[in-house]
Homo-oligomer: A and B are copies of this chain.
Amino acid sequence: MSSTENQQAVRRSDATRAAILAAARERFAADGYERATIRAIARDAKIDPSMVMRYYDSKAGLFAAAVAIDPHLPDLPVEPREAIGRTLVSHFLTLWEEHEELTALMRVGATDPAAADRMQSVLREQLIPLARRVGPEPEQAPMRAALCAAAVLGLALTRYVLRFPASVALGHEEIVDWLGPTVQRYLTAPTP
């Protein structure tokens, strides 16, 4: 222990740990799992590659630490019910622009089953319960949530991963205006 009576151990290496994590998030988001090499991440963080192993055990461990994030969907205001579509889209958009690790998770999820599972767990633990609360016929919740995921992740794919110019050019409000009604319908409309 460094201090006299801290509950949480404050290590002198915390700055290094953070630098590694920041560089890792950047590289994983930009290059995906395989092309983001430990050596490159270490170079960005201005430390030796072996430090990565000391603090995160392995490349897989580093990735797990880099993409540990919780979207906190259950905290979303569900009222008024006819605005839930726009609320959800806007929330996701903000989330994505503040956390580049989401792009990393998506890039890697395209190839790595473990990362794909992590994305699915967000669907299972957050989107499906929400769909169950706001939509008709609770047994349709998984399907309705999957449709919403497709709508939102599709935009994230074209905008943040593939970077289609027309998708990048869209403004925050424009996206909410177009996708909001879509998500709203997926969640609350009767079966077509």
* A residues whose Cβ falls under 8 Å from a Cβ of B: 31-32, 34-35, 106-107, 109-111, 116, 119-120, 123, 128, 142-143, 145-147, 149-155, 157-159, 161-167, 169-170, 174, 177-179, 181-182, 185-186, 192
Contacts of A164 in B (CB 8 A): 120, 123, 146, 149
Most buried by B among A111, A163, A169: A111
A181 close to B170 (CB less than 8 A): no
The minimal Cβ–Cβ distance linking A145 to chain B, given in whole angstroms, is 7
B157 close to A170 (CB less than 8 A): no
Contacts of A158 in B (CB 8 A): 146, 149-150, 153
Contacts of A165 in B (CB 8 A): 120, 142
Contacts of A106 in B (CB 8 A): 110
The minimal Cβ–Cβ distance linking A105 to chain B, given in whole angstroms, is 11
Contacts of A161 in B (CB 8 A): 109-110, 116
B150 close to A167 (CB less than 8 A): yes
Contacts of A153 in B (CB 8 A): 154, 157-158
Contacts of A181 in B (CB 8 A): 185, 192
CA distance A159 to B163 in the complex (A): 21
Known pairs A146-B166, A147-B178, A153-B154 / 16 extra A-B pairs, C-beta < 8 Å? A32-B111, A34-B34, A34-B111, A35-B111, A109-B161, A123-B166, A142-B166, A143-B169, A143-B170, A146-B164, A147-B179, A150-B154, A153-B157, A154-B155, A157-B157, A181-B192
Contacts of A120 in B (CB 8 A): 162, 164-165
A-B CB proximity, top 3 nearest: A154-B154, A110-B110, A32-B111
The minimal Cβ–Cβ distance linking A110 to chain B, given in whole angstroms, is 4
Which B residue sits closest to A159, measured CB to CB? B150
Which B residue sits closest to A142, measured CB to CB? B166
